[in-house]
Amino acid sequence: MTFAALVLSLLLTPSARAAGSSAAAGACRPQTVAKHARLKFPSGKRLVVDIVDTPETREIGLMCRRKLPRDYGMLFVFADEALLNFWMKNTLVSLDIVWIGADKRITVVHPNLKASTVSTPDDKVVRAAGRGQYVLELPAGAARRLRLHEGDALKFEVSIPKS
């Protein structure tokens, strides 16, 4: 197994990508996330999500997780709204990925993105993009179950990292 999983290709420099590749020889271990927030969906459903808001925690994301609870989410928080590209290298579970603008409205929903493995060639790893300041990763099927659509407003409070 490798060290990598969901990599923000937009934020990684070539040297960082090379470092991640060399780490791939080590054991694949999911990160422990210390920050959490309460998120409220338009349906009224509430969810406590993990927060990743540093380059290091965002780079690792959901790498190496073999299973996600049904009511799980990871919220990626950025300093500014931008076009964000996600690369699902070593993401061992299928995901729904939801981009959320600075106004906390959904801008894009990419459902049922295929998992990758350590042996998935880089050119076969799923990539997805959208514009937002936040990106919410959910277990595959959750966006449909939660009836999430572009334009929906979510409610949550998080600290915005510095650029």
Please name which of 147, 59, 139, 125 lies closest in space to residue 95, comparing C-alpha atoms: 139
Q: Is residue 2 part of a domain?
A: no
Q: Is residue 130 part of a domain?
A: yes
**pLDDT tens for residues 54-80?**
999 999 999 999 999 999 999 999 999
> What per-residue confidence (pLDDT) applies to 17?
37
Q: Is residue 7 part of a domain?
A: no
Q: What is the mean pLDDT of the chain?
A: 86
Q: Is residue 163 part of a domain?
A: no
Q: Say if strands 127-139 and 95-100 run parallel, antiparallel, or are unpaired.
A: antiparallel
Residue-number span of the structural domain to which 126 is assigned: 14-145
Number of structural domains (the chain) is 1
Residue matched to tokens 């338009």: 42
- Measured CA to CA in angstroms, residue 8 lies from 5, 16, 57, 148 at distances of 10, 11, 10, 23
Q: What is the CATH number of the domain that holds 126?
A: 2.60.120.1140
**pLDDT tens for residues 75-120?**
999 999 999 999 999 999 999 999 999 999 999 999 999 999 888 9
Q: Is residue 57 part of a domain?
A: yes
Q: Is residue 31 part of a domain?
A: yes
Residue 19 has pLDDT above 60, yes or no: no
Q: Is residue 152 part of a domain?
A: no
Token output for 6: 């969901």
Q: Is residue 153 part of a domain?
A: no
